[in-house]
Amino acid sequence: MQEQAKALAEKIGLKFKDYQFLQEALTHRSFLNENRSYKLPHNERLEFLGDAVLELSVTRYLFSNYQNPEGDLTNWRAALVNGEMLAKIGQEIEIEEFLLMSRGESKDTGKARQYILANAMEAIIGAIYLDQGYEEADKFINKHIISKLPEVLETKSYQDPKSYFQEKAQEIVQVTPHYEVVKEWGPDHDKRFSVAVFLGEEKVAEGEGESKQEAQRNAAEAGLKAKGWK
């Protein structure tokens, strides 16, 4: 059963010696619960491997091409390899339609799906590494992930929105922003928060999140857009 793997490989221009590696990379843990006779394991071990290969590839690229201090390189790398970026790239190359998941997981389109996509991207990198070695994995990473670096640098998405909003607020209006919880709702296991960011008495923007910290980050991001500082 390697149909998904062969179809995805053809779509993104890859050839495998053993398509089982790629098939395993596309297999989410939940799929095994509903398909007991399925012969391959889920993709978490490949994800573990791919994460290390990805980090090495991006680190080598940044080290070889930029003379910036360690702090800059660390922030740029984090922006390229975080789950949000990997999920976005996974959507762009349309790996979602090839993933093997349970019926329940396949209906979820929220954060859980983003997490699955990001993990699958790492697992695919692990599969390429096992099948074809570091050089081919590095080519894939350069093509699909490191190619996002100009966008990261241009939009400054490597900067934490809260830190950047505070920096700009102090620079432009000489005020330190503060945050207030506007609303919280939902049961304890599934809380959501709405937080507003203020400059003095001025309410600049609001953001929502599953934690107060996430809501603050989203409020800061919205504040940067509202003020035209991004």
Q: Domain coordinates of the chain in residue numbers?
A: 3-155, 161-227
Q: What is the pLDDT of residue 170?
A: 95
Which of the following is catalytic: 24, 47, 105, 122? Answer: 122
Instruction: Between 32 and 51, name the one with better pLDDT.
Output: 51
Q: What is the pLDDT of residue 145?
A: 98
Q: What is the mean pLDDT of residues 166-173?
A: 93
Mean pLDDT, all residues of the chain: 92
Q: What is the pLDDT of residue 37?
A: 86
Cα dihedral across residues 60, 64, 70, 73: positive or negative: negative
Instruction: Between 4 and 79, name the one with better pLDDT.
Output: 79
- Is 171 among the catalytic positions? no
Strand order in the sheet with 192-199: 178-185, 192-199, 202-209
Q: What is the pLDDT of residue 2?
A: 77
Domain 3-155 class, CATH top level: mainly alpha
Q: What is the pLDDT of residue 113?
A: 85
What does the CA dihedral 19, 23, 24, 26 come to, rounded to 10 degrees? 140
Provide the pLDDT confidence category of residue 205 given band limits of 50, 70 and 90.
very high
Q: What is the mean pLDDT of residues 19-27?
A: 95
Q: What is the pLDDT of residue 1?
A: 58
Cα separation, 35 vs 184, in Å, equals 39
Which of the following is catalytic: 47, 51, 131, 206? Answer: 51
Q: What is the pLDDT of residue 105?
A: 74
Task: Give the residue carrying structure tokens 């990997």.
Answer: 86
Q: Assess whether pLDDT exceeds 70 at residue 198.
A: yes
- Is 188 among the catalytic positions? no
CB 27 within 8 A of CB 45: no
Please write the tens of the pLDDT for every residue from 80-126.
Answer: 999 989 999 999 999 998 999 888 777 776 777 889 999 999 999 99
CATH number for region 161-227: 3.30.160.20
CB 51 within 8 A of CB 30: no
Q: What is the mean pLDDT of residues 75-79?
A: 93
- The 3-class SS string of the chain reads CCHHHHHHHHHHCCCCCCHHHHHHHCECHHHHHHCCCCCCCCCHHHHHHHHHHHHHHHHHHHHHHCCCCHHHHHHHHHHHHCHHHHHHHHHHCCCHHHCECCHHHHHCCCHHHHHHHHHHHHHHHHHHHHHHCHHHHHHHHHHHCHHHHHHHHHHCCCCCHHHHHHHHHHHHCCCCCEEEEEEEECCHHHCEEEEEEEECCEEEEEEEECCHHHHHHHHHHHHHHHHCCC
CB 99 within 8 A of CB 116: yes
Q: What percent of the chain has pLDDT over 90?
A: 75
Q: What is the mean pLDDT of residues 118-138?
A: 97
Do 3-155 and 161-227 agree at the fold level? no
Q: What is the pLDDT of residue 90?
A: 96
Q: What is the pLDDT of residue 21?
A: 96
Q: What is the pLDDT of residue 43?
A: 96
* Residues written for the chain: 230
Please write the tens of the pLDDT for every residue from 175-193.
Answer: 999 999 999 998 887 889 9
